[in-house]
Amino acid sequence: MLDVWVLGADMTRIGRRDDSLQDLMAEAAHGALRAAGLEAPDALVVAAMNPEEFVGDGNFASNVGAYLGLAGTPAIRVETATSSGAAAFYAGFAQVAAGLRRTVLVVGGEKMTHLDTPRVSELIGRSIDPYERSYGATMPALAALVTRVLMARHGVGPREIAQVAVKNHANALDNPYAHFQRAVTVEEVLESRMVADPLRLLHCCPISDGAAAVVLTAERAAVRVAGIGQGSDTLALRHRDDLTGFAATRAAARAAFAMAGFGPERVEVAEVHDAFAPFELISLEDLGLVPPGKAGHATLDGETARDGRLPVNPSGGLKARGHPLAATGLAQIAECVWQLTGRAGRRQVDARVALAHSIGGLATNNWVTILEVERSQALP
Amino acid sequence: MIETIAASRCPRCGAVVAPPERFCPRHPVEMAPIALPGAGEIVSFTTLHSPPAGFRSPLHIALVELEGGARFVCHGAETRGLRIGSRVAIEAVDDVYYFSHLGAMDRARLFWRRAGRAGDRAQAIVRSLTKRVWKGTQRGSS
Distance from CA of A362 to the nearest CA of B (A): 15
Among A156, A130, A121, which residue's Cα sits nearest to residue A275?
A: A121
Collect all residues with Cβ–Cβ distance below 8 Å to A143 and sequence separation of at least 6: A196, A199, A275, A276, A278, A279, A362
Long-range contacts of B14-21, Cβ-Cβ distance < 8 Å, separation of 24 or more: B15/A239, B15/B69, B16/B68, B16/B69, B16/B70, B17/A236, B17/A238, B17/A239, B17/B70, B18/A238, B18/B66, B18/B70, B18/B71, B18/B72, B19/A131
Which residue among B18, B45, B50 places its CB closest to the CB of A195? Answer: B50
Of the CA atoms within 13 Å of residue A248, those in its CB half-sphere come to 22
Q: Are A127 and A368 in contact (CB under 8 A)?
A: no
Residue B34, domain member (yes or no): yes
Question: Phi and psi at residue A163, in whole multiples of 5°?
Answer: -65, -30
Residue A146 with chain B: CB contacts under 8 Å: 44
Mean pLDDT for B47-66 is 93
Burial of A259 (0-12, 13-18, 19+ CB in 10 A): middle
Mean pLDDT for B82-87 is 91
**How many domains is chain B built from?**
1
Give the percent of chain A with pLDDT over 90.
Answer: 97
Residue B130, domain member (yes or no): no
Residue A239 with chain B: CB contacts under 8 Å: 15, 17, 25, 71
Distance from CA of A71 to the nearest CA of B (A): 40
Give the separation between CA A275 and CA A290, rounded to whole angstroms.
19
CATH second-level architecture of A5-114+207-373? 3-Layer(aba) Sandwich (3.40)
Residue A130 with chain B: CB contacts under 8 Å: none
Nearest chain B Cα to A198, which residue? B46
In DSSP terms, B60 is beta-bridged to B47, B76
Residue B111, domain member (yes or no): no
- CB of A125 within 8 Å of a chain B CB? The answer is yes
Distance from CA of A247 to the nearest CA of B (A): 13
Q: Are A64 and A75 in contact (CB under 8 A)?
A: yes
Give the separation between CA A21 and CA A67, rounded to whole angstroms.
11
The answer to whether the Cβ–Cβ distance between A234 and B26 falls below 8 Å is: yes
Residue A121 with chain B: CB contacts under 8 Å: 50, 52
A117, A145, A154, best to mutate vs chain B, most B CBs in 10 Å: A145
- The residue that leads in pLDDT, B127 or A380, is B127
> How do A365-373 and A353-358 pair as beta strands?
antiparallel
Of the CA atoms within 13 Å of residue A304, those in its CB half-sphere come to 30
Mean pLDDT for B43-51 is 94
Is pTM beyond 0.80? Reply is: yes
Give the model's pLDDT for residue A140: 97
Q: Which residues between 137 and 166 in chain A have a beta carbon less than 8 angstroms from any beta carbon of chain B?
A: 137-138, 140-141, 144-146, 148-149, 152-153
Give the model's pLDDT for residue A155: 85
Question: Phi and psi at residue A272, in whole multiples of 5°?
Answer: -120, 145
Q: How many CB atoms lie within 10 A of CB A258?
A: 12
- The residue that leads in pLDDT, B121 or B12, is B12
Model confidence at B127, pLDDT cuts 50, 70, 90, reads low
The answer to whether the Cβ–Cβ distance between A238 and B75 falls below 8 Å is: no
Report chain B residues touching chain A, CB-CB < 8 A: 15, 17-19, 25-26, 43-55, 59, 61, 63, 70-75, 79, 84, 96
Per-residue pLDDT at B1 exceeds 70: no
Give the model's pLDDT for residue B136: 46
Give the model's pLDDT for residue B138: 42
Give the model's pLDDT for residue B95: 87
Q: Are A32 and A105 in contact (CB under 8 A)?
A: yes
Say which DSSP state A290 is in.
Answer: S
- CB of A193 within 8 Å of a chain B CB? The answer is yes
Give the residues of chain A that fall short of pLDDT 70: 375-380
Distance from CA of B68 to the nearest CA of A (A): 14
Q: Are A322 and A24 in contact (CB under 8 A)?
A: no
Nearest chain A Cα to B45, which residue? A145
Which residue among B49, B51, B71 places its CB closest to the CB of A194? Answer: B49
Residue B108, domain member (yes or no): no
CATH number, domain containing residue B44: 2.40.50.840
Residue B136, domain member (yes or no): no
The answer to whether the Cβ–Cβ distance between B61 and A136 falls below 8 Å is: yes
Per-residue pLDDT at B133 exceeds 80: no
Give the separation between CA B111 and CA A192, rounded to whole angstroms.
30
- Domain enclosing residue B43, as ranges: 4-101
Residue B97, domain member (yes or no): yes
Per-residue pLDDT at B132 exceeds 80: no
Per-residue pLDDT at B113 exceeds 80: no
Residue B127, domain member (yes or no): no
The answer to whether the Cβ–Cβ distance between A145 and B75 falls below 8 Å is: no
Q: Is A193 left (phi over 0), alpha (psi -120 to 50) or beta?
A: beta
Three-class SS state of A78: strand
Name the average pLDDT for chain B. Answer: 81
- CB of A307 within 8 Å of a chain B CB? The answer is no
CA distances A107 to A11, A127, A331, Å, are: 9, 21, 10
Per-residue pLDDT at B137 exceeds 50: no
Mean pLDDT for B104-115 is 54
Residue B97 belongs to what H/E stretch?
A: strand B96-99
Residue B119, domain member (yes or no): no
